Amino acid sequence: MESAVIQRQYDNVIASQYDRDPQNTTGKSLERALNHLETEGLFSEILPTMRVLDVGMGTGMFLEKLRNRCQRTIEPWGIDISQQMASIAQNKLPDLVCAIDDGANLDHHFCDQHFDLVATHFVTGFVPIEHIAPRIFAKLDAGGTWSFVGGTTAGYRELKRRAGHPLLKLLFGGGTPDLQSMICPNNEQEVVEVLQKNGFEILTSETFEPELRFPDFETFIEFGYHGGWLTPFIEEIGLHKAKRWQQAILNMLLFPVVDHHSIVLVVARRPA
């Protein structure tokens, strides 16, 4: 997908709604990531200031949570494609050093800087993990840590099944959202293998599958469109513009839906 389209969606659709975090999927995932980092001893007050780079930082949710949890002084840096998202992050973290760009262009920014921790959280739906892994490695100090959190193609099994319903083709001009086109990694094993191939040591990894409940079309749009999880696919066929009568039909025939996300969390280290 073109960077300009992603930027528009985050600036105009997602930014103002992002921190509402429908179904708390982002919040729960980030708390698990923080738990892993704390278990690895990164939060100890005896350690010096931690220089942190958040790639695809969004509204600064992770950096804010990290600062609240960590006993070390945090020096926050970030890059995001959305100026609107970055402005929200800078309001939360006035000392944030920020660049506005696609995370794929990470190597064009902070060229003289190295970091103790680099975070990429839900970035690999837009930037292939194979592309970003060597760039993360280059940004880390020896012994530095990568916090990876990302969805996989194993998520949304029920939504994928229902996306092929002939009703959607009838109501929306023959189009159906192609959820199979996500560029996310397939599973935890693939993530681990790519990181190891790029020189990382794996400290911990897990697959988290939070339940998603969509009692009706409105809650699905709140999560999928305004929450940013499926915005490109929803726009692809115009679901976000569904008329009331179309919504009523969808509610009768496709909802409620119970589904699960599939999210891989890895803590990896650049060898000392």
Residue 74: inside a domain:
yes
Residue 208: inside a domain:
yes
Residue 189: inside a domain:
yes
Q: Using DSSP, how many helices (H) and how many strands (E) does the chain show? A: 11, 9
Q: Give the count of alpha carbons within 13 A of 140, CB side only.
A: 28
Structure confidence at residue 57 (pLDDT): 96
Distance CA 135, CA 99 (A): 16
Q: Which residues of the chain have pLDDT under 70?
A: 1, 173-182
**pLDDT tens figures, 140-156:** 999 999 999 999 999 99
Q: In the chain, how many domains are there?
A: 1
Question: What's the pTM?
Answer: 0.94
Residue 164: inside a domain:
no
Structure confidence at residue 177 (pLDDT): 52
Distance CA 31, CA 2 (A): 31
**Where residue 106 sits, what CATH number does that domain have?**
3.40.50.150
Structure confidence at residue 145 (pLDDT): 98
Residue 101: inside a domain:
yes
Residue 199: inside a domain:
yes
Would you call the peptide bond into 76 cis, given omega within 30 degrees of 0 as the criterion? no
Residue 173: inside a domain:
no
Structure confidence at residue 233 (pLDDT): 85
What are the percentages of helix, strand and coil residues in the chain, rounded to 5?
45, 20, 30
Beta strand 263-269 with 140-151: parallel, antiparallel or unpaired?
antiparallel
Residue span of the structural domain in which 43 resides: 3-156+181-212+260-269
Question: Residue 149: which of 113, 106, 114, 195 has the closest Cα?
Answer: 195
